[in-house]
Amino acid sequence: MIEKYRQQFNASFTEEKYNQLLEKLGEGFPVIPFRVAETPIFIPQALKEKLIAAGEEIISLIKQDNFKELTQNAIPQQWNVPNETSHPHFLTFDYGLCKDEKGEITPMLIEMQGFPSLYGFQSHLANTYKEVFNLDDKLSPYFNGLDENSYFELFKKVVVGDYAPHEVALMDVDAPNQKTAIDFFITAKHLGIKILALEDISKEGNQLFYEENGLKIQLKRIYNRLIFDEIAENTDIFKNSFDPREELDTEWITHPNWFYRISKYTMPFLKSEFVPETRFLNTVEIIPTDLENYVLKPLFSFAGMGVIIDVTETDIKQITDPENWILQRKVVYEPLIQAPDAGVKAEIRMMYLWPEGEEPQLCINLGRLSRGKMIGVRYNADFDWVGGSIGLMEAF
């Protein structure tokens, strides 16, 4: 969207360079099973300022004294984990790129999470785009004056804290084989921490341990990448390891309850020009007559599963648990990213780190390009110039 960079990029783009990008991204790492887009997003200053402003409005709600009270019903009873922290350590806000009534580019909030994203991979992706496509040195994916070194210093401060790196581990069910494993390995490389699958961890009393070279090491902090929604039907996996819902002498970064507190559940409480009208379905007394302008979303789902785009009155009446759904005015994505053949829609995820005892800091971003009906890999399988990307901005 910064026209000079878009023109330069498209004029010099070749499939050979794109293949070089993919090859270089994967060097020394596991195979990347998700699609990486052909291009970064060039974010102009005006849009950057709106993205920052939108995030500040959301954070002001999260920092309200009554936020936990507002979101007390967000956490499913079966997934309520003890010893919740006073605030999350990660915030991610997803915005669709649209045009307002003045024809200006504006972000509209789509989704939000108090959960980590690809904090390691996105830096690697930005570096690789810049190197392979010989992009201008002043283009940066970072905010708040950060560069690669200061960004990873902050990231390590949040995740490792005052512990020794070997006392901290990134944990997921089968971490080395997850779709986002490349992010795990990049993170471990920069932070010096372990990558552990759930079954690599054992419990003695209320303490957790893992083994390395025949030694038993106490795990004092978990960088949590386990999403409970993904294993809801398979809680037997805890039998060979530990149950996160028990009282444990281990810290969570970030605590699992924040995944639910900061989520679609939060959106009805937000009133902003950057947030589409959103209501809990059980509070909708009169069904709108223009349902074609709405989308119906389950509160407890992951990666777009269960979302009803073309909503009908029958869909609404068939829902037996309306307190677990939201009705949201549709966001109309504008095809703003110029591919060689047509415009492509885009979403930008703003990614924050929140150190203990400090303020949340906007650090880096993630982009996703789409030609399909929805953003996401499964909806764009047959297209090019779609997939994971990153926003680059001029560092003044």
- How far CA 310 is from CA of 84, 115, 292, 297, 373, in Å, comes to 38, 29, 6, 11, 11
Confidence of residue 71 (pLDDT cuts 50, 70, 90): very high
Contact call for residues 356 and 60 (beta carbons, < 8 A):
no
Report pLDDT digits (tens) over 153-185.
999 999 999 999 999 999 999 898 899 999 999
Calculate the dihedral angle through the C-alpha atoms of 274, 277, 278, 282, rounding to the nearest 10 degrees. 170
Is 87 inside any structural domain? Answer: yes
Residue 313 lies in a domain: no
Q: What angle do CA 224, 70, 67 make, to 5 degrees?
A: 65
The H-assigned helical ranges of 217-277 are 257-261
How far separated are the first and last CA of the chain, in Å rounded? Answer: 17
**Domain count within the chain:** 1
Rounded distance, CA 168 to CA 171, Å?
9
For residue 320, tell me if it sits in a domain.
no
Is position 312 within any domain? no
DSSP state of 366: E
Task: Tell the residue number behind the tokens 């969207």, with chain if given.
Answer: 1
- Whether pLDDT at 303 is above 60: no
For 105, the token pair is: 């580019």
Mean pLDDT for 360-378 is 85
Q: Is residue 304 part of a domain?
A: no
Q: Which residue range forms the structural domain that includes residue 93?
A: 3-276+331-394
* pLDDT tier for residue 1 given thresholds of 50, 70 and 90: confident
The CA dihedral of 283, 286, 289, 292, to the nearest 10 degrees, is: 10
Confidence (pLDDT) at 231? 76
pLDDT in tens, 329-365: 999 999 999 999 999 999 999 999 999 999 999 999 9
Note whether residue 288 is domain-resident: no
**Confidence grade of residue 31 (pLDDT, cut at 50, 70, 90):** confident
Residue 291 lies in a domain: no
Domain assignment present for 214: yes
Report whether pLDDT(320) > 70.
yes
Model confidence at 4: pLDDT above 90: yes
Give me the residue label for tokens 């010096």.
192
